[in-house]
Amino acid sequence: MTTDGDGRLEAALDLLRARGGRVTSARRAVLSALLEHQEHASAEALAEVVHASHPDVHLSTVYRTLDAFEQLGVVTHVHLGHGRAIYHLTDEIHHHAVCERCGAVVQLPLALFAQLHHRLLDDFGFEVDAHHFALVGRCARCLGGTGATGDRPLATADGEDRRSLARRPASGASP
């Protein structure tokens, strides 16, 4: 079977229309770019994809479109680092752990957070939507290679995120 991307696209557009919004080629293109995009997509990255077929869709329109779909609950954005936000479809929610050394992004199933979720709710009355921000740390690879299951080629960041978390290594190190 082909991906059900088309179905999801149409469903989102229908919802948009149902709420009084208008389906434009720009919006269709942005949503489509989001569906295609396997990696974590920043607004700018999406704009680039969109530009391939629709060169004059402005970046601000991409932001506005993402915002519109976010209002509809179709899209969510997450902060992986100090820089840009990344966007994905709401039905693909998961946690993110970003390696502060190499920038690799690891996707984590929500299930891992179940216990934390409960304890926060019970002990603090706080209900987390925990996916909004990424966790920061060191990935298996950067920890030294002897990590437990650390031989998979962990998801790599776009290469754009790489600098987000890395501050300058040391202050007065070089001669």
Partner DNA sequence: CTGGCTGCAAATTATTTGCATAATC
Partner DNA sequence: GATTATGCAAATAATTTGCAGCCAG
Given the complex with DNA, which of 13 and 106 has the nearer CB atom?
13
| Closest CB 55 distance from its own copies, rounded Å | 27
Angle between helices 25-36 and 5-18 (to 10 degrees): 140
Interaction between residue 23 and DNA (CB under 7 A): yes
Given the complex with its own copies, which of 11 and 114 has the nearer CB atom?
114
Given the complex with its own copies, which of 35 and 130 has the nearer CB atom?
130
Nearest to 10 by CA among 41, 46, 35: 35
Rounded to the nearest 10°, the torsion over CA 143, 144, 145, 149 is -30
d(CA 24, CA 41): 21
CA atoms within 13 A on the CB side of 116: 8
Residue with token string 């990590």: 147
Interaction between residue 63 and DNA (CB under 7 A): yes
Helix (H, G, I), strand (E, B) or coil at 154: coil
| Closest CB 114 distance from DNA, rounded Å | 29
Instruction: Specify the DSSP class assigned to residue 169.
Output: S
Site for DNA in 83-122 (CB under 7 A): 83-85
Identify whether the C-beta of residue 65 lies closer than 8 Å to the C-beta of residue 29: no
Q: Which stretch binds its own copies (CB under 8 A): 34-42, 43-51, 54-62, 142-150?
A: 142-150
Interaction between residue 113 and its own copies (CB under 8 A): yes
Identify whether the C-beta of residue 70 lies closer than 8 Å to the C-beta of residue 10: no
For binding to DNA (CB under 7 A), which residues are involved? Answer: 16-17, 20-27, 42-44, 54, 56-61, 63-65, 67-68, 83-85, 171-172
Q: By the criterion CB under 8 A, which residues form the site for its own copies?
A: 19-21, 67-68, 70-71, 79, 82, 97, 99-100, 106, 108, 112-113, 115-116, 119-130, 132-140, 143, 147-150, 167-168, 170-172
